[in-house]
Amino acid sequence: MLDRFTTRLIRPAVQALARPLLRWGVSPNHITWAGFALGVLAAACVASQAWMAGLALLLCSRLCDALDGAVARASESSTALGGFLDIALDFVFYALMVLAFALADPTRNALAAAVLLTAFVGTGSSFLAFAALAAQRGLHNPQYPEKSFYFLGGLTEATETLAVLCAMCLWPTYFAPLAYGFAVLCFVTWLGRIAAGVRVLADAPAGQQQPPHPPKLPESLRQDAGV
């Protein structure tokens, strides 16, 4: 819900940080992987109840998540592989953070973590399913033109998720109520995305929902796949 506003707010600072990285030859994919590594370290700190260290690493990880796209756009090197890595690693990172709180205090947090992870599956699967079908139909979301795919918003976007994870690090004893509350918001987001999918895709002719030819992989993906 807040991503398009926060993106505009932080864009000047992110672009300023991206320029020296571009001069140093740092690739967007390197930044993506660095952000994921920092996220794994953040989860490890949270699991060890090192809350402030986890919070600091969490924020650094999300800074990398903003920088990789800025560097890609500044260098005009945005690729399908970059978009794939960005979303795939982000989803694992968010799940690891929730799992970390469960490991930090299984007795108090395990059930709430399971509920929140289930909610994440709902929002994530509906998000990706709609994006895949929107790509087949050539749809674009003008509210998020910088995204690599159709970005379907909702109540629980990256900004809200980051805010609740920060709150969990600052007040770890309140993880369970925060997790349950955010799970409810995720459920509302899931309902909204299902409704959007029904509205946009229900009347599409069957032929429009299948590409006429198998999509050609980008060269970088062809090499990774050995084809």
CA 75 to the chain's CA centroid: 22
Query: Residues in the chain, how many?
Result: 227
Per-residue model confidence as pLDDT tens digits over 106-135: 999 999 999 999 999 998 888 888 777 776
State the pLDDT confidence band at 194, using cuts at 50, 70 and 90: confident
Q: 100: closest CA among 57, 53, 46, 58?
A: 46
Whether the per-residue pLDDT at 196 is higher than 90: the answer is no
pTM (2 d.p.): 0.79
Task: Produce one character per residue of 75-100: b if its CB has 16 or more CB atoms within 10 Å, e if not.
Answer: eeebbebbbbbbbebbbebbbbbbbb
Whether the per-residue pLDDT at 210 is higher than 80: the answer is no
Whether the per-residue pLDDT at 227 is higher than 80: the answer is no
The domains located in the chain, with CATH, are 3-211 (1.20.120.1760)
pLDDT of residue 3: 64
State the pLDDT confidence band at 212, using cuts at 50, 70 and 90: very low
Whether the per-residue pLDDT at 23 is higher than 70: the answer is yes
Per-residue model confidence as pLDDT tens digits over 33-89: 999 999 999 999 999 999 999 999 999 999 999 898 888 888 776 677 888 888 899
Contact 127, 94 (CB under 8 A): no
